[in-house]
Amino acid sequence: MGGLDGRTALVTGAGRGIGRAEALLLAAEGAHVTVNDVDLGEARAVVDEITAAGGSGRADDHDISTWDGAGAAIAGVVDDGGNLDVLVNNAGILRDAMSFSMTEDQWTDVIRVHLAGHAACAHFAGAHWRERAKAGEEVTGRIVNTASESGLYGLVGQVNYAAAKAGIASMTVVLARELAKYGVTVNAIAPRARTRMTETVLGALLPEEGAFDEWDPANIAPVVAWLASDAAADVTGQVFVVNGDKVHRMSGWHRTGRIDNGGRAFTPDELAARADELFGDESRGLPPMGFGE
Ligand X SMILES: NC(=O)c1ccc[n+]([C@@H]2O[C@H](COP(=O)([O-])OP(=O)(O)OC[C@H]3O[C@@H](n4cnc5c(N)ncnc54)[C@H](O)[C@@H]3O)[C@@H](O)[C@H]2O)c1
Q: Say how many residues touch ligand X, by CB under 6 A.
A: 31
* Residue 206 DSSP class: P
148 vs 185 by CB, closer to ligand X: 148
Q: Which is nearer to ligand X, 113 or 139 (CB)?
A: 113
What residues from 144 to 163 belong to the interface with ligand X (CB under 6 A)?
Answer: 146, 148
Measuring CA to CA, which residue among 127, 143, 161, 129 is closest to residue 237? Answer: 143
CB-based contact 20:33 (threshold 8 Å): no
Q: Which of 10, 47, 91, 121 binds ligand X (CB under 6 A)?
A: 91
Within residues 46-75, the interface with ligand X by CB under 6 A covers 63-65
Position 104: which residue type?
E
Span near ligand X by CB under 6 A; candidates 76-84, 86-94, 101-109, 173-181: 86-94
Among 7, 8, 12, 124, binds ligand X (CB under 6 A): 12
Least distance to ligand X, CB of residue 129, Å: 21
Angle at alpha carbon of residue 276, lines to 273 and 281, rounded to 5°: 175
Q: Is residue 25 part of the contact set for ligand X (CB under 6 A)?
A: no
d(CA 219, CA 18): 9
How far is it, in rounded angstroms, from Cα 215 to Cα 199? 11
> How far apart are the C-alpha atoms of 143 and 145, rounded to whole Å?
6
Question: Binding segment for ligand X among 32-40, 206-214, 250-258, 261-269 (CB under 6 A)?
Answer: 32-40
Closest CA to 232 of 155, 164, 143, 165: 143
Q: Which residues are catalytic?
A: 148, 161, 165
- Kindly tell me which residue out of 8, 10, 15, 27 binds ligand X, with binding defined by CB under 6 A: 15
CB of 245 to ligand X, least distance (A): 15
Taking alpha carbons only, the member of 177, 1, 16, 179 closest to residue 84 is: 179
Phi, psi values for residue 211, rounded to 5°: -85, 160
> Does residue 92 touch ligand X according to CB under 6 A?
yes
SS3 state of residue 88: strand
Angle (deg, nearest 10), helices 67-81 and 117-134: 40
By the rule CB under 6 A, 179 interacts with ligand X: no
Q: Does 17 bind ligand X (CB under 6 A)?
A: yes
CB 36 within 8 A of CB 61: yes
Q: Is 40 in the site for ligand X (CB under 6 A)?
A: no
167: contact with ligand X by CB under 6 A: no
Q: Which residue is nearest to ligand X (CB)?
A: 17
Which residues are near ligand X by CB under 6 A?
A: 12-13, 15-19, 36-39, 42, 63-65, 90-93, 113, 117, 146, 148, 190-193, 195-198
